[in-house]
């Protein structure tokens, strides 16, 4: 067995199936999209939710992704000459860096950061924006604003 192969977590499996569901939906493959949605729901129900997670815990996970995860994934994408994966990884890495910065601001300002304003996330690359309205286009992946959705305040 390859030393780089590891068992995926429930959260990773949920994210993978959610992304495959979106891809199938875009290709008008409804039956496959529904199957992946069902799998994502199954894996989502299995994942462990850490009730006492802190901002420091989130930042540690982001740092691990930035220092190890993206490097490993970029190496694999380069070896496979997969331009789509390289582009998605670039977007993910940029979004992760911005999210880390946003978490640092939230740690300093607390709820005041999101008070009386909206929080929006790009469904394509994960870019998070705090402001009155989403930008006209995502600064990371360049999709139009209808792909940038508001986050419910109770989720924050």
Taking only the tens place, the pLDDT of each residue in 104-145 is 999 999 888 888 899 999 988 889 999 999 999 999 999 999
Residues 108-146 as b/e (b if ≥16 CB within 10 A, e otherwise) read eeeeebbeeeebbbbebbbbbbeeeebeeebebbeeeee
Q: Give tens-digit pLDDT for 34-88.
A: 999 999 999 999 887 777 888 888 899 999 999 999 999 999 999 999 999 999 8
pLDDT band, residue 156 (cuts 50/70/90)? low
What does the pLDDT read at residue 132?
92
89 versus 6: which is more confidently predicted?
89
What does the pLDDT read at residue 8?
86
């Amino acid at each position: 067995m390859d030393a780089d192969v590891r068992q995926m977590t429930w959260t990773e499996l949920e994210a993978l199936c959610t992304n495959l569901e979106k891809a199938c939906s875009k290709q008008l493959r409804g039956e496959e999209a529904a199957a992946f949605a069902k799998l994502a729901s199954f894996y989502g129900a299995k994942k462990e939710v850490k009730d006492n997670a802190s901002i420091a815990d989130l930042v540690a996970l982001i740092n691990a992704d930035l220092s190890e995860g993206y490097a490993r994934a970029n190496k694999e994408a380069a070896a496979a000459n997969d331009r789509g994966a390289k582009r998605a990884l670039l977007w993910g890495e940029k979004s992760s860096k911005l999210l880390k910065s946003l978490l640092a601001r939230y740690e300093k300002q607390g709820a005041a950061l999101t008070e009386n304003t909206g929080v929006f996330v790009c469904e394509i690359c994960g870019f998070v924006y705090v402001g009155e309205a989403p930008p006209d286009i995502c600064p990371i992946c360049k999709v139009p604003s209808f792909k940038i959705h508001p986050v419910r305040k109770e989720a924050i």
